[in-house]
Every structure is written in structure tokens, then in C-alpha cells.
């Protein structure tokens, strides 16, 4: 009655008691071909226990896929059948891109509930306001840490850079609130308002440069070389974070090709830094600068195993000059304070959800205030 039945494991010519099968009237691969929704995609399946009784042991439970010919052949509506692309995907275990991509479901993995292909606000929510001119709305991701480290370094150097830092919970979609989008139409942290000038600021590299120019600090004499490394970080980090970090740490499945591709690039970048730091104390020679503040939260944190849990996998210890620099930056008191600001995970003593005064580091960490907001 059924011309070919393909099961999701090698059954040696027999049909297992459970499994996933494809029913087709077309020529298909031999029995035993691995059949599963590629990349974890949840393809619609039809349970036909009443009909499978004629081809399978009594009481067997199957997830059944039908192509259009098979569905019509046994008198089922066409809507129950897989599309030709889905049939090909099942038979080859390969994703076949449609001619025009449509957003139909979440992609899976960490942060999938907030990823979307459109911009703009999703809800009305005004941003809180503090007493200081610099109003930061952020989270202690690497990009957020760049800015809080800079602000703490400015204060440590004696500049009047007092600031209010408010937590943006990206997991809850705070970045899509109307107030945040008004400051940053790209809905990414960090974003800042300078109430003295009315300037709205977004993109971490732009904020670092703005603050360095505003206060005349952490821009070395050779500004061009500093800009080289600042923009190197802005262009390179997406391969480390959105590429390597995503597929190694956050993707719903481990894909060898993607992990290998971005591991190769991540290690190349680590080698670029290691070779440069073999001849330089900091990224711009002997002067600590915004280039160091931009690069350390990404690449220093990776080799120190502060992000992605990948230091061993990447053999971070092998990059000895990079490791020396990373540890020196980590030991700076302003950096130690900066990494705490807007942090909402890890040991509670290291979490300062909001920062409004220097005393907050002693009095307002989560271990001190508990559930108090």
C-alpha cells in the first residue's frame, strides 16, 4: 500500500514501534536514512494511528510526514502535507532557504524571545531620570561594561563625571520601550543622555569617544592609532560575540561548521592582539586609553574566562601577552567597579543593578539590599 517508508533510524527493513516516518509516492532515499527536522525546526506532523494500523505493529506511535501526492492519494487535505522544500529538507537533512524569508517562528536559543526583524517600540515606557547630567541606560554585557568602566575611570582620575546608571533588562524587552527607543532607535544597549548638552548617545564606541573628548581624558597623543584600535574592536567583536559566542554558547544546537568557522576567526583575532601586545604595554603604547576600555570587556574577558566559558576551548592561556594585558586591566579598581554596574547575574556581591553614587558599591549591591529594587 505504501511505496516507501523511511524511519529515523536504521531498522533493517522492519518498522520500529516508535519514530518519525515520511510517506511518499515519489522515489526517496533508501530505508534507514536519518530523518529529522533540520536545525531543530519543528515541522508540522500528522498522527495517523487509524491508518498506520495496516503497515505497522498494533499500538505503534509515529510522527508521520506526508508529501502532497501521498496526502491526496489517501484522501487527506493538502494542508496536511509538507511543502516540496520541507520534503527535501527531511530527505537531505538540509535547510532549503525560501525565495522570500518570512518571520514565522522564534529561532530558538538564548534571546530568541526578543529577536525580531523589525525596529521601533513595542510598548510605552518612560525612562527613569536621576540627578546627574549623565544618564546611562544599560546592562553589564561587554558593550555595556565599556561605558561604565570609562565613567569609573574618569571619576578615579578626578573628573566631574558623576552619572546615574539604570538597568535595562534585555531579556524582558526593556530596550523596546518607547523612552529607550526615543534615545536609541536601534534598541541596543548602552544608550546615554547628556542632560547638559541634550545629546543622545548610542553605540558604545561613540559614547567612549564622546566622553573622552568631553573630559579631555584617555585619548593618547597619537589619536589616530587609538582610533585604529577602537574601530578594530567595533568591527571585529561581532565575529567574536554574534558569531563565536552565539554558536558556542547560546545556539539551540551545536553546529560544527558554524563553531569551526567562528572559532578560527576568534583565534585569529586573539593572535592579532597577542602579537601587538608583545611590543606594547597597552593598545596605544604606554598610555591607557579608550581603546583598552573597548577591547578588554570582549577579548580580555574571553581569555580570563569571564564570558562564554570558552577560555579552555580557545586555549586562551597560550596568548601570553594578551593574558598579561588582560590581568593588568582587570586589576584596576575602576574596572572592578565598572563591571559591577548594571550587572544582574552572578554572585550578588558583584551585582549593582543601579548606580547613582560612589557609595552604592558599598551599600547597594544585591547581597546588601536583597529583593529591594
Q: Is residue 116 part of a domain?
A: no
pLDDT above 70: residue 58 = no
Question: Tell me, what CATH number does 289's domain have?
Answer: 1.20.1050.10
Q: Whose CA is closest to 2, among 64, 59, 91? A: 64
pLDDT above 60: residue 9 = no
pLDDT score of 16:
37
pLDDT above 50: residue 286 = yes
Q: What is the DSSP string of 127-147?
A: PP--SSSEEEEE-SSHHHHHH
Q: What is the domain extent for residue 66?
A: 4-92
pLDDT tens-digit profile of 323-354?
999 999 999 999 999 999 999 999 999 999 99
Q: Is residue 114 part of a domain?
A: no
pLDDT above 80: residue 6 = no
Residue 39 DSSP label: G
List of residues 6+ apart from 191 with CB closer than 8 A: 136, 137, 138, 180, 183, 184, 200, 201, 202
Q: Are 265 and 215 in a shared domain?
A: yes
pLDDT above 60: residue 104 = yes
- What phi-psi label fits residue 218: left (phi over 0), alpha (psi between -120 and 50 degrees) or beta? left
Q: Which grid cell is 257?
A: 561548521
Q: Are 276 and 325 in contact (CB under 8 A)?
A: no
Q: Can you say whether the dihedral through the CA atoms of 174, 178, 179, 183 is positive or negative?
A: positive
Q: Are 192 and 300 in a shared domain?
A: yes
Number of domain units in the chain? 2
Confidence category of residue 90, pLDDT binned at 50, 70, 90 = low
Average of per-residue pLDDT across 266-271: 98
Q: Are 138 and 78 in a shared domain?
A: no
In Å, the largest CA–CA distance within the chain is 84
pLDDT score of 120:
97
Lowest mean pLDDT among 67-81, 134-148, 204-218, 297-311: 67-81
pTM (2 d.p.): 0.78
Report the chain's mean pLDDT, rounded to a whole number: 82
pLDDT score of 161:
98
pLDDT score of 186:
97
Helix (H) or strand (E) holding 165: strand 163-167
Q: Are 59 and 154 in a shared domain?
A: no
pLDDT above 60: residue 49 = no
Q: Choose one of 92, 109, 124: the last residue of a domain.
A: 92
Q: Choose one of 70, 92, 114: the last residue of a domain.
A: 92
Q: Are 69 and 144 in a shared domain?
A: no
pLDDT tens-digit profile of 124-162?
999 999 999 999 999 999 999 999 999 999 999 999 999
Q: Choose one of 92, 123, 157: the last residue of a domain.
A: 92
* Percent over 70 (pLDDT), the chain: 72
Q: Which residue has the higher pLDDT, 256 or 51?
A: 256
Q: CA–CA separation, 69 vs 81, rounded Å? A: 8
Q: Is residue 253 part of a domain?
A: yes
* Percent over 90 (pLDDT), the chain: 67
pLDDT tens-digit profile of 13-42?
333 333 444 544 443 333 223 333 332 222
Residue 237: φ, ψ to 5°: -60, -35
Q: Are 256 and 315 in a shared domain?
A: yes
pLDDT score of 220:
96
Q: Which residue has the higher pLDDT, 49 or 144?
A: 144
Q: CA–CA separation, 117 vs 227, rounded Å? A: 31
Lowest mean pLDDT among 56-70, 146-160, 248-262: 56-70
Amino acid at each position: 500500500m505504501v511505496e516507501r517508508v523511511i524511519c529515523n533510524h536504521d531498522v533493517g527493513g522492519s518498522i520500529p514501534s516508535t519514530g518519525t516516518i515520511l510517506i511518499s509516492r515519489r522515489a526517496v532515499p533508501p530505508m534507514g536514512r536519518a530523518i529529522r527536522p533540520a536545525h531543530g525546526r519543528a515541522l508540522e506532523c500528522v498522527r495517523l494511528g487509524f491508518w498506520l494500523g495496516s503497515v505497522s505493529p498494533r499500538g505503534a506511535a509515529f510522527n508521520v510526514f506526508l508529501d502532497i501526492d501521498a496526502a491526496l492519494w489517501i484522501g487527506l487535505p493538502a494542508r496536511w502535507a509538507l511543502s516540496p522544500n520541507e520534503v527535501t529538507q527531511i530527505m537531505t537533512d538540509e535547510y532549503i532557504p525560501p525565495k522570500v524569508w518570512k518571520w514565522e517562528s522564534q529561532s530558538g536559543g538564548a534571546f530568541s524571545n526578543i529577536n525580531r526583524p523589525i525596529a521601533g517600540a513595542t510598548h510605552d515606557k518612560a525612562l527613569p531620570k536621576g540627578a546627574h547630567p549623565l544618564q546611562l541606560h544599560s546592562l553589564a554585557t561587554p558593550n555595556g561594561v565599556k561605558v561604565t568602566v570609562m565613567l569609573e575611570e574618569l571619576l578615579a582620575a578626578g573628573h566631574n563625571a558623576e552619572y546615574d546608571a539604570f538597568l535595562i533588562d534585555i531579556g524582558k524587552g526593556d530596550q523596546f520601550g518607547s523612552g529607550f527607543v526615543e534615545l536609541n532607535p536601534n534598541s541596543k544597549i548602552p544608550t546615554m543622555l547628556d542632560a547638559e548638552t541634550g545629546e543622545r548617545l548610542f553605540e558604545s564606541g561613540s559614547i567612549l569617544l564622546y566622553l573622552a573628548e568631553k573630559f579631555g581624558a584617555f585619548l593618547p597623543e597619537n589619536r589616530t592609532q587609538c582610533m585604529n584600535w577602537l574601530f578594530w574592536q567595533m568591527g571585529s567583536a561581532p565575529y567574536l560575540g554574534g558569531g563565536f559566542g552565539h554558536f558556542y554558547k547560546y545556539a539551540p544546537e551545536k553546529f560544527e561548521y558554524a563553531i569551526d568557522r567562528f572559532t578560527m576567526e576568534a583565534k585569529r583575532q586573539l593572535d592579532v592582539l597577542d602579537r601587538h601586545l608583545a611590543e606594547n604595554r597597552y593598545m596605544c603604547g604606554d598610555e591607557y586609553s579608550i581603546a583598552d576600555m573597548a577591547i578588554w570587556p570582549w577579548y580580555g574577558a574571553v581569555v580570563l574566562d569571564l564570558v562564554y566559558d570558552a577560555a579552555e576551548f580557545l586555549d586562551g592561556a597560550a596568548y601570553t601577552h594578551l593574558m598579561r594585558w588582560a590581568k593588568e586591566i582587570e586589576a584596576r579598581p575602576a574596572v572592578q567597579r565598572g563591571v559591577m554596574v548594571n550587572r544582574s547575574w552572578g554572585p550578588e556581591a558583584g551585582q549593582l543593578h543601579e548606580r547613582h553614587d560612589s557609595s552604592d558599591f558599598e551599600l547597594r549591591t544585591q547581597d546588601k539590599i536583597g529583593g529591594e529594587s
